[in-house]
Structure 1
């Protein structure tokens, strides 16, 4: 039996401080990227200053306007396998954002046909019959690599879990449109999320069979998609992100089914990692190998990216992002025209990583008055809850709809989100403009 402290909250921040110090002193490994290249990239992003004696202070990268223009639509469609009809998706570079109005009338579990796509490069073509999962590293008892086929995984005890997967930058564009602040990265509105029923085997079961050593500290899944190359030509290697061993042994799943069917190619076929409630980058798609390490691990996806940098954070940035936040969205087009003197049933969805949705308050007059929406689902943490509310507008003209969720931990969506340079974890109440006609 492996005993290890849970690594959430303050303990995760302390763990990360130790891990970061070890990396900067050369005791930890930034796997696949030379330390000099990592420091150069951080410096180029404005995230390193004052390198001296092999150590550095991390600071905020230069903020850029969020991007994702129609000019890249052809390239994005070429990298995504499934159809991307314009009434369901907005193409954003190598990604496809779900239009929230397209979810109206869909079930609690997001159909694969409507599920957003977040790709760093392109969806790979993989053969499940030849696919292998390699578990390796000096954090294993025998130090030898162990391989598992898809059939091997399916012979192990299975588990199912409903959970959303959400990009850490979901809502990023509202830093600019609502708060007048720039943020680098894909200009998501609120559609970089999908909620599905996942089935697979617990990662802890696979690690147990591979034989985790008491010296293991980090577990790093790696994807089989193409290596990611930056604009300046630096190859950052395969997409990968380490997990503290405590999290890996907790609720992480190696999923091979989505909504009762094999994973679609764009969503990780044949096997993906699912880390419930954590930012989407932790749920590595197309997983091909998992390193178990006795040393702390870093990758660009928890150093360059997926930390909070900016005026509200320490010079070295926050700890790597873990839990998602709380959000709400209307199933309604932006700037929709709403008929006056008629009763409408506004619908939407709210979600939280830290607790179940306890209530959703709605305003149809820009926040002057509020009333409670009716919840349509039994709320659970790390899934969304659908809601509805009637509205009978009488006066033609523009107005703003607001939806504000509160979860069972007492967390409520704020009026504004503290800015960070890469636009992560936007959780403020979104102002949804409509016109009564």
Structure 2
């Protein structure tokens, strides 16, 4: 069951008084339930805080250096420049990995760190140090983490539509090799009950304040089926300990799901026998607008995207050039990529290079000899194993999530 379907199940259980969620009000529930057509009854519930011992705040919102040739900075966020990936390998180097923060990066002492699990879905509360987690069976996965708003700016620049949020181009994604322990392994070690339905990790970063309202720590529930499937609690990225900006000492990695599910600096996990709600699956990370229900459509998985490893508005020589890029889809591997160098009039098949892993991406290349100088528009159009591809346009949503249309990349030949 995907999260959108499970959204309805949660609301039906709210109706029966069997759900909880701090920061989710009776008014929120009534509005959300009206959108999906179920009745309501407000249940109780409490939010448990993570162990914050040994936690400090950095001087700025992001700790690592952000040289302008590698990143475009948006306050607490930093977008990877695609031209900075051209000469790298399949994995994004840590120094070029994008950063998405709701507040500021915390500095957490690994020796003092504790992961606390609590809630009605466990036989009893449990707590693990980092060393105790490392003694459990370990696993390594290669997976992308991608912000739900990646490519948001193109709603405005290509479709002329107003959206709110960070004006990412295509650089709010990174593929890494993550090492850690399966969340399912930890849940079972903690005493998971058979009637558990929701699992909600929450971060140790500062509480998020929106519109003057303190919404508490960043958190978002997962159906227990997903939590037991392929979710990782990671302490290592690309063969080295997690850096602070990427969730040290421990973060969640949820393959194929939008980045908000992959909670950084995870300090507590609520496991519940009743559905859980938070502002991050009710107020945010839903599709709102004229093409959607009044209170939005819940999102979990990303859409097909492609990017050229090329500066935006790059100048290229009037000679044979090799264009390179990467394409990805939450549905699985990429089947093929077609490239247009004339704004979509004609298309040619690109040559795939390197691995084509599910939950990651496919690299590709194609040679191009420009017919003349002046402005040109490049477009990459990927098709994944399910047949999904990039449409010419996508329906508008006010928060600018899941832009998967063909991106028109301008270059000048001179």
TM-score (normalised: structure 2): 0.92
Q: 1:220 aligns with which of 200, 208, 211?
A: 200
Q: Is this contact kept in 2: 1:87–1:99, CA < 8 A?
A: yes
Measure how far apart 1:385 and its partner are. 1.2
Instruction: Deviation per CA, 1:278-318: give whole Å up to 9, x if none.
Output: 00000000000101001100000000001111222222321
Where does residue 321 of structure 1 map in the other structure?
A: 299
RMSD, aligned α-carbons: 2.2
Partner residue of 1:362? 339
Match of 2:163 among 183, 204, 215: 183
The residue number in structure 2 matching 1:296 is 275
Kindly tell me: are residues 77 and 107 of structure 1, through their superposed partners in 2, closer, same or farther at Cα, counting changes over 3 Å? farther
Shift of 1:394: 3.2
* Deviation digits for residues 311-341 of structure 1 (CA, Å, limit 9, x no counterpart): 22222321x211111100011111111111x
1:77–1:94 Cα contact (<8 Å) kept: no
Given the alignment, which residue of 334, 358, 361 partners 1:381?
Answer: 358
Residue 353 (structure 1) aligned to one of 326, 330, 342: 330
Give the structure 1 partner of residue 259 of structure 2. 280
Task: Name 2:289's counterpart in structure 1.
Answer: 310
Aligned to 2:375: 398
Pairing 1:28–2:19 present: yes
* 1:333 corresponds to 2:311: yes
Indicate yes or no: 2:231 matched with 1:252: yes
| Offset of residue 111 of structure 1 | 0.6
Offset, 1:421: 1.2
By how many angstroms is 1:180 displaced?
A: 0.8
Q: Secondary structure at the match of 2:389?
A: coil
1:260, distance to aligned residue in structure 2 (A): 0.5
Secondary structure at the aligned position of 1:15 is classed as helix
Equivalent position to 1:111, from 93, 96, 108: 93
- Which of 245, 258, 277 is residue 266 of structure 1 equivalent to? 245
Q: Residue 140 of structure 2 corresponds to which residue in structure 1?
A: 160
CA distance in 1, matches of 2:70, 2:34: 40
CA contact (8 A) 1:100 1:331 kept: yes
Question: 3-state SS of the aligned residue for 1:424?
Answer: coil
Q: Distance in 1 between matches of 2:215 and 2:310?
A: 39
In the alignment, is the contact (CA less than 8 A) between 2:287 and 2:296 conserved in 1? yes
Match of 1:60 in 2: none
Q: How many residue pairs end up in the alignment? A: 397
Distance 1:192 1:336, change over 3 A: same
- Which structure 1 residue ranges, 5 or more long, are not aligned? 1-6, 57-75
Deviates more, 1:119-128 or 1:372-381: 372-381
Q: Is the 8 A contact 1:90 1:99 kept in 2?
A: yes
Query: 2:7 aligns to what?
Result: 16
Q: Contact (CA 8 Å) 2:338, 2:347: kept in 1 or not?
A: yes
Match for residue 122 of structure 1? 104
Write the distance in 1 (CA, Å) between the matches of 2:314 and 2:240.
Answer: 35
- CA deviation map 1:76-127 (0-9, x unaligned): 9921000000001011121001111111101111011000000000000100
Structure 2 residues without counterparts, runs of 5 or longer: 43-57
Change (3 A) 1:173 1:98: same
Distance 1:273 1:124 in 2: 16
How far apart are 1:192 and its partner, in Å?
A: 0.2
Residue 48 of structure 1 deviates from its aligned partner by 8.8
Quote the offset at 1:13 in angstroms: 3.4
**Selected match of 1:132 from 86, 96, 114:** 114
Q: In structure 2, what is the Cα distance between the partners aligned to 1:155 and 1:54? A: 44
The 5 Å alignment of 1:233-252 reads 233-252=212-231
CA shift digits 1:263-290 (9 cap, x unpaired):
0100000000000000000000000010
